[in-house]
Amino acid sequence: MGKWRKKIQVVILLAVFVIGGYAIGTALFGEERTGQIKPGQQPPEFKLADLEGGVHQLSDYAGQPVIVNFWGTFCPPCVKEMPEFERQYEKWKDKGLVVLAINLSEDTLTVNNFVKQFDLSYPILRDVNRKTEKQYGLRSYPTTFFVKADGSLMEAKVGGMTEEEINERVERLLQL
């Protein structure tokens, strides 16, 4: 030991600091086990087709506030709020609002038949094999994600919304 002592001490303490810091850090900042996206976090990217065959990615809308709504024909509150989303979209689209309605992996005929009944001008995207809904940690339907222009999540709202509830959130979204 002797004169090497100090050097060895420093090396070891440094190694401990780095390795230990890494260990504690991953525990501290690791993602929630439940896979729920917390406000402030970035919702995961997806790449889905719309009804005309066009492909949409979340990153296509970077810089714009985005509402991502998960819906299904079997879910009455989802169905109820779709015209509300349409009206809100009409109201705010000039301010840059984007609305994406992701269907919960139902088949083509089902989705088309449904959409025919409404006059919806925002893109209807098709999730496949429940992949995106799993990535977004969905537990019940509908779930709507309000994403800020900088790409981070403002709020994840579970359950159907009235037009007022949507409006209030859009106002907040556009201010950020």
Residue with tokens 């066009």: 54
Candidates 67, 104, 154, 156; binder of another protein (CB under 8 A) is 104
Q: Are strands 47-50 and 66-71 parallel, antiparallel or unpaired?
A: unpaired
Across 39-51, b (16+ Cβ under 10 Å) vs e yields eeeebeebebebe
Residues 118-137 that bind another protein (CB under 8 A): 126, 128-129, 131, 134, 137
CA 34/CA 103 separation, integer angstroms: 22
Residues 35-64 that bind another protein (CB under 8 A): 35, 47-49, 53, 55
Q: What is the DSSP string of 4-39?
A: HHHHHHHHHHHHHHHHHHHHHHHHHHPPPTT-PPPT
Q: Which is nearer to another protein, 54 or 96 (CB)?
A: 54
Q: Which is nearer to another protein, 31 or 171 (CB)?
A: 31
Residue 61 DSSP symbol = G
The distance of closest approach from Cβ of residue 94 to another protein in the complex, given in angstroms and rounded to an integer, is: 29
Question: Is residue 72 a contact residue for another protein (CB under 8 A)?
Answer: yes
The distance of closest approach from Cβ of residue 130 to another protein in the complex, given in angstroms and rounded to an integer, is: 9
Cβ neighbours, 10 Å, residue 102? 25
Q: Which is nearer to another protein, 88 or 132 (CB)?
A: 132
Site residues (CB under 8 A) for another protein?
Answer: 1, 5-6, 8-10, 12-13, 16, 19-20, 22-28, 30, 33-35, 47-49, 53, 55, 72-74, 76, 104-110, 113, 126, 128-129, 131, 134, 137-140
